[in-house]
Amino acid sequence: KQIMAGCADQVKRVTLELGGKSANIVFSDTDITRAADLAPYAVFDNAGQDCCARSRILVQRQVYDEFVGRLEVAVNGMRVIDPADDASEMGPLISAEHRATVASFVAGEPIFRGDAPSGPGFWFPCTLVEASNDDRVAREEVFGPVAAVIPFNDEADAIRIANDTPYG
């Protein structure tokens, strides 16, 4: 509140990143191809080091398999390369310590793990993990390129899951 008030006094725009587990919700009646093609940019932008990243992807069960298949293709197409290259869509994480923290959220075999350079830098591949909303990857801020893909049944179930977060 103090930061916002200080900015208001100076008529400055402010955007506060206050943490969260934003949900990207995919219903069965959506354009599945388009939703899958756009989803990676909502979570993996800035290597997922963004409090607004939609790191929980809720998918209606009727289209879950189709969506995940198309999402894998889209994630595989992400250009994870040196951010100085104009073609880069995702660069490395901020530190080796943070890379270890991000890795700790991937328990077991992920649905999909993309490619990442092995050279200098704290690289971590775009990773999709099937989860329930009770799993750590869905409850805590990963702040890295890991998305929890969570199936849901109907609109009420999606709303319940989306709102079931300590972040508000």
Q: Which two tokens stand for residue 129?
A: 């993990």
**Side chain identity at residue 140, one-letter code:** E
Q: Please confirm, yes or no, whether 89 is among the known catalytic residues.
A: no
Q: Which of 51, 52, 66, 130 is catalytic?
A: 51
51 is catalytic: yes
25 phi and psi angles, rounded to 5 deg? -110, 125
Q: Give the pair of three-digit tokens for residue 85.
A: 């290259």
**Which ranges of 10-57 would DSSP assign to H, the alpha helix?**
32-43
Q: Which residues, in sequence order, are CB contacts of 79 under 8 Å at separation 6+?
A: 87, 88, 89, 90
CB contact at 8 A, 158 and 60: yes
Q: What is the set of active-site residues?
A: 17, 51
